[in-house]
Amino acid sequence: MVIQFILLLIAAYLVGSIPTAYLVAKWRRGIDIRQYGTGNIGASNVMAVVSRRWSIAVSIFDIAKGAVMVWLAQLLGLGASQQAIIGITAIIGHNWTVFLHFQGGRGIFTSLGVIAMLAPRVGLIGLILSYLFAPFRQLSLGVFIALIILPILSLTLSQSLGVSEPLSVSLAYLGILLIAVLRRLTAPKTPLGASVSKGELILNRLLFDRDIKDRQAWLNQSHPETKATK
């Protein structure tokens, strides 16, 4: 069982590392998505620089990366704590992919796949909480709030939500929150970030996953690398 767990860990990292958004942008438009839009290797940037249809495909694949790895851990009879470790490893692979010099995306959709497989009802609540902010174009804020609430929900409402091993699941959700915070805070600083104070930069990244409050300016920012290749 130990060998199976180790092999699954390696597989989870490698599967998580598949840079779906990068590959789609290269295939459909022949571009490096890191040099366009927000520069993020994720579904939202695919929607901005490729198309909505392909952003949906990227989202589904990224969700599957986390969900399938946890599902395989369940098939092998691993406990909730081991399933969580497998899922978190897939998220780490997405965020720090070996295929792009450890520069990956934010891992939100991969995290959703992991959250849903560990406790489906809690995952549904997290999805609803996140998309409550979508009409206001503040999905990143909704995601941040949901990630804060989910560990508390899974621990305090474990019976009504059908959570087995609530402590392990809650700790897993807390780990996912910490990874999301770390990824937002350690994202490469953009030229737009120089226009705000350090405190405001940290707050913008935590709440909105961008360096500035102006969403449209953030989406339409130019990248020095892009200019150099034109």
- This prediction's pTM: 0.90
- Label residue 164 exposed, middle or buried (CB < 10 Å: 0-12, 13-18, 19+): exposed
pLDDT tens across the length of the chain (230 residues): 788 999 999 999 999 999 999 999 999 999 999 988 888 899 989 998 999 999 999 999 999 999 999 999 999 999 999 999 999 999 999 999 999 999 999 999 999 999 999 999 988 888 898 888 776 678 889 999 999 999 998 988 888 888 888 999 999 999 999 999 999 999 887 888 888 899 999 999 999 999 988 877 887 775 555 444 43
Q: 16: which 2 tokens?
A: 């998580």
Residue closest to 192 by CA, chosen among 170, 171, 213, 164: 213
Distance in angstroms (rounded) separating the CA atoms of residues 230 and 222: 12
